[in-house]
Chains A and B, each alone.
Chain A
Amino acid sequence: MEYVRFVRFRRSLWDDFEERLRSARTARLRHADLETLALRYRQVLHDHALAATRFPGTRVARRLARLAVEGTHTLQHDQGDRVATRFFSQRFPAAVRGLLPWFGVTLSLFLTALAFGFTLGVAQPGVGLGLLGPETVAGLSEGRLWTESLVTTVPPAIASTGIATNNMSVALTGWAGGALFGLGALYVVVLNGFMLGAILAATFHYSLGGRLLEFVSAHGPLEITLILATAAGGLAIGKSLVAAEDRPRAEAVRAASRQALVLLLGCLPWFLVLGIVEAFVSPAPGIPANVKLALGLALEGLFLTLAWNPFFKEA
């Protein structure tokens, strides 16, 4: 029978391929070894195709199916790792430019929600006060902002880490929430805008709005930018899920996710910087308001310059 001849003539090749696969997993291959491995892989693939058609269910067909799958896994690498080398000079600015329209959407939604929350908070002060809770409201009525407790009850080193990780969680939620057809990202943007507006209105109600603005001036601009940027990535993922246009949906979702991931990874380190600023600079009474504002604008400018990269050239 052909089966016996097939096994007799080809078995040594399969054994050799299996041995080379084993070596490839444990040691770095030389170029010549890699070429031989690739050649053997092709031979095994063709033998697998033959065995699957002519001798289905036999031990050899099963072994070849396993070798073909293992060989594919060993020899075929997703090339996504290469981009890491030029991440901040090329990939991150490219992602920012690609997602700019979505950033416009998140910014518009945020500002609308902020205006709505502020208007509602001015007309109905109870809305903002309800969000802050009774203890904070009691403090406001005595002329104290809740932000002051950041330095009086929690040491700055701990507060900065807590703030950074909390902000990263918000950004990750907005980004990952895009996978729920963009609804999660919308939720994060609108909720944050509405809450900021309503809380601002509540502090103005107690004539403490200026102090709150002073508190957020050092870290607020960049923090909002980062949250809106990561949420823009989430929205892009959501859009690809809903409308893939002329591409297969899986391909469109994958492309959007990769671009959004680059944006997220580029933003995350900034949250650590912001955590330090928010814990050490923002609540510090000794630092003048204009210095805090200048720092906030400088951080924002630095981030935008790096994100946009004026020297960026389309690959």
Chain B
Amino acid sequence: MTTATDAPEGRILGLDNIPLDLPLAGAGSRSLAAFLDYIVLAVVLFVFVVGGSFFAFFARPRGTWWIAFLILGLFLIEYGYFAGTEALTGGRTFGKRTLGLRVVTDSGGRPATGAYLIRNAVRTVDLLVGVPLMALDPKSRRLGDRLAGTLVVHERAEAELDVVLGRVPRSWGAREVAVLESFLLRASDLEPARAEALARELLAVIERDDPTFFDGVARDQDALMVLRTAVARP
């Protein structure tokens, strides 16, 4: 699979050269996710140190090996949190999961463990230059992403409420269909009076474009119901 180097931001060429638009995450959401992760990291480090201190106080271990383990543990937590959580969760740290972000390869696939290690090994450098780099790059990549060949994308909501149209007015194109679907999907969130008014407007447009569209549909109900009934029929 190849990436399209001159394609619009987030667009890659998938199997059979079919374009795929990856929903790229910008510098803002990524910085916020990193902020959340650093809070988690600070808490984990704090708990680790307090736990170690309690262990020393109550268990009174012989020798000083436990301090050595404590130092080693702190080192591993500090350097391993991001790479470890990304490798274990398929590219989602706590912060990324909270904001619905995920690390993918620049061809949209799942990165190898090595890629997670590379992108996080330069995190200290990215603390200085990462945000400006993301702001300047059309794909919002920080240094680690460039080295590892990764991107961070938004995960789209899985179970979107869907609308299934059984029929649409004869002369309508995709744009009009998209408006109708969008309205039917959101009508329940609108104020009833506003939804009814918009439904009446849509009924008028449909009657103008396809006068026979409402044949056989009872019109003695509110406009929204008439619309729903008419488009649902096969």
Please give the residue numbers on chain A whose beta carbons come within 8 Å of chain B beta carbons, in ascending order.
1, 3-4, 7-8, 11, 41-42, 45-46, 48-49, 52, 54-59, 61-63, 65-66, 68-70, 72-81, 83-84, 155, 157-158, 160-162, 164-165, 168, 172-173, 175-177, 179-180, 184, 237, 248, 250, 253-254, 257-258, 261, 264-265
Knowing A176-B121, A254-B147, say if A73 contacts B165 (CB, 8 Å).
no
- Check if B197 is an interface residue, CB within 8 A of chain A: no
Nearest chain A residue, comparing its CB with the CB of B161: A59
The distance in angstroms between the C-alpha atoms of A69 and B22, with both chains bound, is 7
The distance in angstroms between the C-alpha atoms of A253 and B143, with both chains bound, is 11
**Residue picked from A49, A59, A83, A264, most chain B C-beta under 10 Å:** A59
With both chains docked as a complex, state the minimum distance between the C-beta of B106 and any C-beta of chain A, in angstroms: 8
- Check if B207 is an interface residue, CB within 8 A of chain A: no
**Chain B residues whose CB sits within 8 angstroms of the CB of A176 once the complex forms:** 121-122, 124-125
- Check if B60 is an interface residue, CB within 8 A of chain A: no
The distance in angstroms between the C-alpha atoms of A175 and B125, with both chains bound, is 11
With both chains docked as a complex, state the minimum distance between the C-beta of B162 and any C-beta of chain A, in angstroms: 6
Contact B108 A73 (CB under 8 A): yes
The distance in angstroms between the C-alpha atoms of A54 and B175, with both chains bound, is 10
Please give the residue numbers on chain B whose beta carbons come within 8 Å of chain A beta carbons, in ascending order.
1, 5, 14-16, 18-23, 63-65, 67-69, 71-72, 75, 79, 102, 104-115, 117-118, 121-122, 124-125, 143, 146-149, 153, 156, 160, 162-168, 170, 172, 174-175, 177-178, 181-182, 185, 234
Chain A binding site: helix, strand, loop or mixed by DSSP? helix
Which 10 pairs of residues, A with B, have the shortest CB-CB distance?
Answer: A80-B112, A76-B109, A57-B178, A78-B112, A72-B108, A161-B68, A257-B147, A155-B64, A165-B75, A55-B174
Contact A7 B122 (CB under 8 A): no
Q: List 12 A-B contacts (CB under 8 A).
A: A42-B16, A45-B15, A63-B160, A69-B23, A75-B109, A76-B1, A78-B112, A158-B68, A173-B124, A176-B124, A184-B125, A250-B146
With both chains docked as a complex, state the minimum distance between the C-beta of B22 and any C-beta of chain A, in angstroms: 6
Additional A-B contact list (9), CB under 8 Å, known A72-B20, A257-B148:
A1-B167, A3-B174, A8-B234, A72-B108, A80-B114, A155-B63, A155-B67, A237-B147, A264-B121
Knowing A77-B112, A172-B121, A257-B147, say if A69 contacts B156 (CB, 8 Å).
yes
Knowing A65-B21, A72-B109, A79-B112, say if A261 contacts B117 (CB, 8 Å).
yes
**Chain A residues whose CB sits within 8 angstroms of the CB of B110 once the complex forms:** 73-74, 76-78
From the candidates B107, B125, B149, B185, name the one contacting A76 in the complex (CB within 8 A): B107
**Chain B residues whose CB sits within 8 angstroms of the CB of A248 once the complex forms:** 5
**Chain A residues whose CB sits within 8 angstroms of the CB of B108 once the complex forms:** 69, 72-73, 76
**Chain A residues whose CB sits within 8 angstroms of the CB of B162 once the complex forms:** 59, 63
Contact B109 A258 (CB under 8 A): no
Contact B149 A254 (CB under 8 A): yes
With both chains docked as a complex, state the minimum distance between the C-beta of A164 and any C-beta of chain B, in angstroms: 8
Q: Total contacts A to B, CB within 8 angstroms?
A: 171
**Chain A residues whose CB sits within 8 angstroms of the CB of B106 once the complex forms:** 250
With both chains docked as a complex, state the minimum distance between the C-beta of A68 and any C-beta of chain B, in angstroms: 5
Contact A1 B114 (CB under 8 A): no
With both chains docked as a complex, state the minimum distance between the C-beta of B204 and any C-beta of chain A, in angstroms: 20
Contact B115 A1 (CB under 8 A): no
**Residue picked from A63, A70, A74, A165, most chain B C-beta under 10 Å:** A165
The distance in angstroms between the C-alpha atoms of A175 and B79, with both chains bound, is 14
Nearest chain A residue, comparing its CB with the CB of B185: A59
Knowing A1-B172, A157-B65, say if A73 contacts B109 (CB, 8 Å).
yes
**Residue picked from B122, B146, B165, most chain A C-beta under 10 Å:** B122
The distance in angstroms between the C-alpha atoms of A161 and B107, with both chains bound, is 40
**Chain A residues whose CB sits within 8 angstroms of the CB of B121 once the complex forms:** 172, 175-176, 261, 264
Contact A157 B68 (CB under 8 A): yes
Contact A158 B67 (CB under 8 A): yes
Nearest chain A residue, comparing its CB with the CB of B106: A250
**Chain A residues whose CB sits within 8 angstroms of the CB of B185 once the complex forms:** 59
With both chains docked as a complex, state the minimum distance between the C-beta of A252 and any C-beta of chain B, in angstroms: 11
Nearest chain B residue, comparing its CB with the CB of A255: B149
Contact B18 A46 (CB under 8 A): yes
Nearest chain B residue, comparing its CB with the CB of A272: B72
With both chains docked as a complex, state the minimum distance between the C-beta of B79 and any C-beta of chain A, in angstroms: 7
